[in-house]
Structure formats: C-alpha cells, structure tokens
Amino acid sequence: MTQTSKPPRIVIVGAGTAGLNLATRLSHKFGRHGKAEITLVDENLSHMWKPSLHEFAAGTKGFDEEISLLEHSHRNDYSFRLGRFTGIDREKKLVHLQAVNDPANRPLAPKRALPYDILVLAIGSRSNDFGTPGVAENCMMLDTPAQAKRLQAELLNLFLRFQTGALCTRDDKLELTIIGAGATGVELAAELREAAGQFARNGIHKVRRPDAVTIRVLEAAPRVLGALPENISMKVERHLRELHIDVHCGAKVARIEPGSVHLADGTEFTSNLTVWAAGVRAPEVIGQLEGFETGSLGRLKVRPTLQTLADDQIYALGDCADCPWPAKETSLPPRAQVATQQAEFMERQIAAQLAGKPLKPFSYADHGSLVAISNEGAVGSLMGKAIGTITIEGWLARRAYRSLHFLHRKSVLGTWRATLSSLIGGASKRIRPKLKLH
C-alpha cells in the first residue's frame, strides 16, 4: 500500500455475522486511536443474527434483538453508510453504492462511490432456487430480516383467515410446506409447529384439532441435513416426526404453483404457505464483478489469506467467499461459525497488512454443528482437541446453541451490554406472550 499521511480507509461491505463483528473489532483496534478510518456499509439500517431468522419468522421470538447500525457505529469508532453495493472500480479504488429508497420510493441515500484503501466484502448469501419454476412468485424465503417479518405477518394472517372463515381450505386443514431440509428448513419446521400450538392456545380455536395443521418438509436428498453426520440427521428426523412434521426425502420439487407444490415424479401437494429453504448461493452482484473469479455456489474465490484472487487489497469473508478448506479438500461451508472465525482472523490480518508484516493463511477450526428443534431443544455435535467429537442433544445442546448467539452479541455489544440484554430478554420472555400475535 502507498504511504500517505492520512490514516488508511478500510471499507467493509455487509453488516452481518462477519461484517459487524469485524467492524467492531477494527474500530476498537484502529478507529478509536485514529490509526484507520473504518466504514461499514449495509443496505439495511439494522443487524439481526441470521441463524435466528426462523424464530422471528415463526413469531416465537420478538424483533427486539435488532441492533441499530446508526447507534452501534456511534457507540463504536466507525462510520455507517446506508447503501446497496453494486460494484468496484479497482483502478480508482472506489466502491459503488446504489441509491436506497424508502417504501414510498423517496430517496434515503443517493447513488454514490466510497473511496477505500482496503476493501472487505461480507455480503452473505441468498436462497438458491436452482431455476425451479414458480419459486419467485409463489414461495416465501428467509434470507433477510425483512423477509422474516413478511413471513411472520403472512403466517399470522393465514391463521386468522382460517379461524374467521375468510379462508376455506382442502379438508378444512392448513397445509404449510417447507422445501429444503438443511438447518434452515428443519429449524423452521420445528418452530412452525411450536407457533401452531401457540395459535391454538391463543384464540385460533380451529387449530386445536390435532390434525388441523399439516407441516411438511420436502427434501430432494435421501436424508435431512445432508451436510451433517448421519447420526445427527437420524436423530433430527426422529424429533421432527415426534412433532408430527411430515418429512419426505427423495422428493425433488419440479415447480411451484399458487397453492400447490409439484414433484418431479408427478406428486402434488396442496400448500397454503410455501417456504423455499433449499440451499444458498452468493448474491448476484458477486457474479457481476469484473475481473473476479467465482467458485462454488457463485461465491468469490479467495486465497487462504482471504484476499481475492484478483486484488490484494480486496478481501472476502463469510458466506460470499469461496475459501479453500485443505483438511477436507473442498471449500468452507456457508456457516455462522466460519463467518465468525474469519472476522476474528481478519482483524489480525489487517493489522499485519498495515504493519507491513507477512499475511497468514486462515485456518478453520470446526467446533461441530448444532440444530435447534424448537422447545424440544437441539441436536448436534461438539468437536475439540480435548473432547474429540461428541453428540449432544436436549437441554445441553440448546444451551450450547444459545451460547453461539450470546458470543456473537458479546463480540459486537461488549460483555456488559450483551449480558444485560440477555438477562432482560430472559425476564421479558416470562411476561410477554410466547407468540407474536399482532
């Protein structure tokens, strides 16, 4: 990097699991002491922990855990810019941002370009519809807080319409279909069963009948949670069946129509609400970046140092990066654990770059996987040098699952604020309704 008297400008695009964590770390390390100018860009004004989106969508968790990026940047030593990332001018070292409008189409932030010395892309992933006809028109998705809010409103309206008779359904039943039995699909199915129970207890009497709400999961692969070990997959499937969730594996969806889902083998399912959760891919803008190479799932190829192949000053991390995983001779999976470890690593990497020291390769430590099964707890494995691999389930697994969210909040809010908000959250859970009913 060229030596200038001005502090280097570090721009991070994407305030998700990786981006917000990194911005917080860099602001403490450099921003606070004026050693670098840190700017965080996002197309949304707030941050939510993405692995909890299914709980917000089902209404079993309130939206009060959102972190305002304006307030967070003010508390920490970085600048927040609202904008949608659309491209990079590598010669002029500019990040292009598209204008962001409010729902009435009035501009909130104009189209503009931000200068950078170091650029970090952390824009996450989007659902992958694999070109399946009818998905965009007839399915809900769970990629963003806005989609989670829409799904929660849609679900509430569906149950209300069913109760009031405004909606007549086949066999007088509600049928909810989730396509994809990865972590998102499985966790959402369990959460929807919990929500249906809460609706029944809170005035939606028509769903008190045990068979009034069908929840089905359709998965093209031979088993649920294909990316996880088989013993976890079997345990999770057993839990789902105990919750009266219909699991159909080997069910390849050919098209979605309004009110129905059609499989390649000709089977048709009626569906009053269909959610597409069958895998992810990088946002389209990644494929449109000139001169950059993309790899699996359309992600930006990076070297083990997390630098893009095209440009030493541009890094990518989290779900949008295709990072080698030498231990498994593949790429790292799009998971919160990877995004978090990469954010922690990037703080040290950028420090090394600014100090003119050699960069190191990122090394991923797989600590296992946990899948939440609503109030039933969670199932998963923990991995570590001292313990090897152990399978855990129930209360202990649920605690471990919750601790991941707490650790994230601790890294972005600090120990004191994260602990306090967790205590307040725990207390308010006891007094507020178990389901969002408005």
Name the residues that contact ligand FAD, by CB under 6 A: 13-19, 41-44, 50-51, 53-54, 84-85, 122-124, 142, 183-184, 187, 283, 285, 318-319, 334-337, 339
37 vs 319, which CB is nearer to ligand FAD?
A: 319
- The residue among 219, 200, 187 whose CA lies nearest residue 376 is 187
390 vs 420, which CB is nearer to ligand FAD?
A: 390
Min CB(438)–ligand FAD separation in Å: 22
In the complex, which residue's CB is closest to ligand FAD?
Answer: 16
43 vs 376, which CB is nearer to ligand FAD?
A: 43
DSSP string for 328-394 = GTEEPPS-HHHHHHHHHHHHHHHHHHHTTPPP--------EEEEE-GGG-EEEEEEETTTEEEEEEE
Min CB(358)–ligand FAD separation in Å: 26
Token pair 């799932």 is found at 297
How many CB atoms within 10 Å of residue 63?
A: 14
- The residue among 154, 157, 127 whose CA lies nearest residue 141 is 127
Token pair 């707030």 is found at 46
Residue type at 97 in one-letter notation: L
Min CB(48)–ligand FAD separation in Å: 8
Min CB(47)–ligand FAD separation in Å: 6
Min CB(319)–ligand FAD separation in Å: 4
Min CB(31)–ligand FAD separation in Å: 19
Min CB(427)–ligand FAD separation in Å: 25
DSSP string for 22-42 = HHHHHHHHTGGGTSSEEEEEE
> Which stretch of DSSP H or E encloses residue 216?
strand 213-219
54 vs 72, which CB is nearer to ligand FAD?
A: 54
54 vs 260, which CB is nearer to ligand FAD?
A: 54
- The residue among 123, 116, 126 whose CA lies nearest residue 314 is 116
The phi, psi pair for 264, rounded to 5°, reads -65, -30
162 vs 364, which CB is nearer to ligand FAD?
A: 364
Contacts of 403 (CB under 8 A, 6+ apart): none
> Using an 8 Å Cβ cutoff, are 117 and 3 in contact?
no
55 vs 260, which CB is nearer to ligand FAD?
A: 55
